[in-house]
């Protein structure tokens, strides 16, 4: 086949993706967007805006935004819409970390090597900063720039994200069971519920929302939903493993805490070796699930693989 | 003017609205909707759903939902959409009460004569129940039943509500300044900011969102925005007055707490008599503002008057 210039058109050569470089680049994009979007620390009342920024810019890897961007890019979605979605997902993730770290919940003093929000700003401001980030996330979702016929799609995105972070198979539900099983015997069903809900649901929703916004068809959305669920669960299993194997320096917080607190984790249920195996299989499933994307899916596949081998 | 039957058509006779009876009736409607909508207390994980219901059904007056319903009814809006909006507003109000009552914030043990959520369920569950109610409110807003051409309108409603409860002139911002001025000298600007943001913004948004959903024109929306701002501020001033004049039985919590904690209140700034006068004037302004609604606005006017004379 020849194009209009008489030159032979070629299938674009797919270079092996440098996933670390890709993640670094997308993280910069997300950080720059969030820096523009978050209220200025000089805006009254200053302390809450300082606290919100402090936690958002505490060094997160931006996994959820990067997954949303990569999904949307693979489907040819609009970058302006995707970056707003990506930003909202990170605001939600940050809210969940601030509240999880509170003395009444996980009682963590350090997060990514820095004092947690309540250690730095006090408990009241930390609670309110979490509330404010959750609220701002929905405001931002409502501001996603879409074309005239996409308003209903945007409502579906808002709905999907809200469900993913709610109580029934969503983030808050997972956090509740995580807390109530602590120090007690737990079942496989509870363990799966915690991991799929607390961590998996928002990761899955990141992929699914980007697919929706990018007008993916039903078959693609369904495959991507499975992809998202698999990597979401794998991500939390790897987190469990790193809590045992990582050094405090690598983790930016104390290690071995899950075991001390008798948390429901995969290593506690299955041992380290089997947990590693389960995570690996989940990632392999995920990689197969997006085979339909061909070369365009390479970044998503590399992101999935990264999740199972990450060391931080 | 005669109608087809030959009888003289009359301007419909406007009976004086029995506002107490009206509020009771609308409260039942809202409560019944919320009872249907909230996850069953038998749904896993049960404790969070119990906690959410406990606080939602702790005896609130449903002021915000009733204002939304009355506004929508005055404008001929669709009741199915309005009741969903009303329910979401009450979920948000309940979330704010749960978090405000926490030990790190106002540290209240009683609310409406009952133990507050953290006294009943512990702090962790109370924090998460607040988070869950806020999240569920946005899910419910996304589910408001609207016609095909109203999706953009619904997004505007979501956006307006999010802004009203955020940090910049919204509920969380007001709460922050309320906390940071406590026990310190405060200015009139700070006092106004606290009252308009912490309480006024969501009350105003209740009226404005209902007006949006009911397809009010620009002039009506603008008048109703002023109406909402006036009664929102009046409501909080009356709250300040009741904290001094009400008995613990009337209030369902300890009275005189604002003075003990040196909170920024209208009576502290202007004295009781002038505060009463300011509230009365705000309500009169509000009543005039909705004169354009004619007989259809009678309920809104009575609701405004009720706010300045309420004893609980």
- Partners of A115 in beta bridges: A110
Residue B175 has pLDDT above 90, yes or no: yes
Q: What angle do CA A237, A188, A171 make, to 5 degrees?
A: 60
CB contact under 8 A, A159 and B142: yes
Minimal Cβ distance to A166: which of B136, B167, B180: B136
| pLDDT tens string A221-245 | 999 999 999 999 999 999 999 999 9
Percentage of the residues of chain B whose pLDDT score is greater than 70: 95
Please say if the pLDDT value at position A10 is more than 80: no
Supply the mean pLDDT for chain A: 93
Choose among B66, B80, B60: nearest CA to B206: B66
Q: Which residues of B touch A145 (CB under 8 A)?
A: none
Confidence bin at B9 (pLDDT 50/70/90): very low
B155:A154 CB<8 A: yes
- Is the minimum CB–CB distance between A294 and chain B shorter than 8 Å? no
Q: Indicate the range of A13-27, A88-102, A204-218, B24-38 predicted with least confidence.
A: A13-27
Share of chain B above pLDDT 90, in %: 86
List chain A residues with CB under 8 Å of B106. Answer: none
Provide the residue ranges of all domains of chain B, joining segments of one domain with +: 19-309
Give me A29's structure tokens: 């994009």
Q: Would you place residue B3 in the very low, low, confident or very high pLDDT band (cuts 50, 70, 90)?
A: very low
Instruction: Give strand pairing partners of A114.
Output: A111
Query: Based on C-alpha coordinates, what's the Rg of chain A?
Result: 20
From the CA of A282, how many Å to the nearest CA of chain B? Answer: 26
Q: How far apart are CA A218 and CA A184, in angstroms?
A: 41
Kindly report, residue by residue over A248-300, the tens digit of the pLDDT. Answer: 777 777 778 888 889 999 999 999 999 999 999 999 999 999 999 999 999 99
pLDDT tens for A15-70 read 578 999 999 999 999 999 999 999 999 999 999 999 999 999 999 999 999 999 99
Tokens of B249: 């039985």
Mutation target to probe the A interface, by most A beta carbons within 10 A, among B40, B41, B135 is B135
Backbone dihedral region for residue B6 (phi beyond 0: left; psi -120 to 50: alpha; all else: beta)? left
Q: Measured between CB atoms, does B175 come within 8 Å of chain A?
A: yes
Tell me the pTM.
0.94
Interface check for B310 against chain A (CB to CB < 8 A): the answer is no
What CATH number belongs to B19-309? 1.10.600.10
User: Using CB atoms, which residue from B127, B154, B166 is nearest to A135?
Assistant: B166
């Amino acid at each position: 086949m020849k194009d209009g210039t008489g030159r032979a058109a070629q299938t674009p050569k797919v270079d092996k993706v440098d996933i670390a470089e890709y993640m670094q680049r997308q993280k910069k994009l997300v950080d720059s967007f969030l820096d523009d979007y978050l209220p200025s620390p000089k805006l009254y009342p200053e302390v809450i805006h300082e606290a919100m920024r402090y936690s958002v810019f505490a060094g997160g890897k931006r996994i959820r935004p990067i997954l949303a961007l990569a999904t949307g890019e693979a489907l040819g979605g609009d970058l302006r819409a995707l970056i707003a979605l990506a930003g909202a997902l990170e605001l939600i993730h940050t809210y969940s970390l601030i509240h999880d770290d509170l003395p009444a919940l996980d009682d963590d003093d350090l997060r990514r090597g820095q004092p947690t929000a309540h250690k730095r700003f006090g408990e009241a401001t930390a609670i309110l900063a979490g509330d404010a980030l959750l609220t701002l996330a929905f405001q931002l979702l409502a501001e996603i720039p879409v074309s005239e016929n996409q308003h209903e799609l945007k409502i579906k995105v808002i709905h999907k994200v809200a469900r993913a972070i709610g109580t029934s198979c969503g983030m808050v539900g997972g956090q509740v069971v995580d807390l109530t099983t602590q120090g007690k015997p737990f079942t496989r069903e509870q363990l799966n519920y915690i991991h799929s809900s607390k961590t998996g649901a928002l990761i899955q929703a990141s992929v699914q929302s980007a697919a929706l916004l990018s007008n993916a068809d039903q078959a693609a959305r369904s495959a991507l939903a499975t992809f998202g669920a698999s990597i979401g669960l794998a991500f939390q299993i790897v987190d469990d493993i790193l809590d045992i194997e990582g050094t405090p320096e690598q983790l930016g917080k104390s290690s071995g805490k899950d075991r001390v607190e008798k948390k429901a984790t995969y290593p506690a249920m299955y041992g380290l070796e089997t947990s590693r195996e389960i995570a690996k299989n989940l990632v392999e499933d995920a990689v197969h699930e997006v085979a339909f994307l061909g070369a365009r899916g390479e970044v998503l596949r590399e992101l999935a693989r990264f999740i199972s081998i990450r060391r931080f």
